[in-house]
Amino acid sequence: MHLARFRDELDIHFALESSLSAMAPSQNEPLMESPEFWFSDGSIVIIVENTAFRLHKSILGKHSDVFADLFSVPQPQSDLELIDGVPVVHLQDNLQDFTDVLRALYEPFHFDKLTPEADLATLIQFLSGILRISTKYNIITLREKCIMVLRTKFPSSLSACDRLLSSGYKYVASTIVRAIPLARATNVPEILPWAFYISTNIAHDALLDDGVLSWHDKALCLAGKNQLWEMQKSVTHKFMFEFSRAPTCALCRIPPSMAMTWQRAEELRGSPHPLMHFDGWDSLQLCVRCLDHVKTQYQKGREKVWKALPIMFRLGSWEEIHQEQNR
């Protein structure tokens, strides 16, 4: 990335300063040393908000080509800001986000603090700052680690979806919606189809009152809810609404257990889930041929829904999503 370009994008600036106790140019609070990240042998001081971090150019530059490029450009002595003889860089970032990414860089087992049993709220809180900063400064290893962890709750393949459904994991509406703006802000579109899919199960009023989602994304959820319901009726679970025998069977009729009442249909319409696992095959009381016929239609239908899932939410195809994320 060209230096002038990433300076514009990252809002990095140098300014003349002589001591740590002096004021930051745009703030009225004195600078404070970071209690965690002030190393006596650090070669660069980075100031975020009113906190100064004395860090190592070698560590930051090794993981981020943005920092490597920044540190490689010589600065005129007259413009150079120093604290204790160490050059200073100001970054316009969130203090907590920046602190989180430093923990991930300086602590080898930082991600081990996130246990496999962690709920989604804990997971998103742990990852959000690291993902935002690692994306902004192109810290590839940390960004990929964050995405790998997110994939455990946001599958991007049907097989991964099946594993997640089999685990019985439950989502909380107030948490799942936080994943959508995070994915958009950090260019991780592969988690969006599943995030939208789950969000369609939020009640209309709760979705409209939500303060996290944009109105554009709320509209996508509402439109997607209707499309998923139509696919559940006509593609994956068609046998529950319009039963047809196998071509080689002339005996089976629609079993009483499969009769769809309008009350049950309304329940399903409010929370469409065409990808759900159907486990009531034995109760259908069908012959072997019809059962195989229905199961085949069901599985092919799930594959069709999965392929169409990102398109429903105006995200393009799965292939386009992966290209966008990896470019």
Q: Given a cut of 60, is residue 39 above it in pLDDT?
A: yes
Alpha carbons 54 and 153: distance in angstroms, whole number: 36
> What pLDDT, on the 0 to 100 scale, is given for residue 77?
66
**Rounded mean pLDDT, 28-52:** 91
Of the candidates 298, 291, 323, 302, the one whose C-alpha atom is nearest the C-alpha of residue 228 is: 302
**Rounded percentage of the chain residues whose pLDDT exceeds 90:** 61
Instruction: Identify the CA nearest to 187 among candidates 121, 124, 132.
Output: 132
Least confident of 67-71, 81-85, 236-240, 281-285: 281-285
pLDDT number for residue 248 = 81
Average pLDDT over all residues of the chain = 85
State mean pLDDT over 105-125.
Answer: 92
pLDDT beyond 60 at 4: no
Is the predicted pLDDT of residue 153 greater than 90, yes or no?
Answer: yes
- Give residue 170's region: left, alpha or beta (phi > 0; psi -120 to 50): beta
187 closest CA partner among 1, 10, 324: 324
DSSP type of residue 22: S
pLDDT at residue 84 is higher than 60: yes
Residue 1: pLDDT band with limits 50, 70, 90 = very low
CB atoms < 10 A from the CB of 189, how many?
Answer: 20
Q: pLDDT category, 28, cuts 50, 70, 90? A: low
Percent of the chain at pLDDT > 70 equals: 86
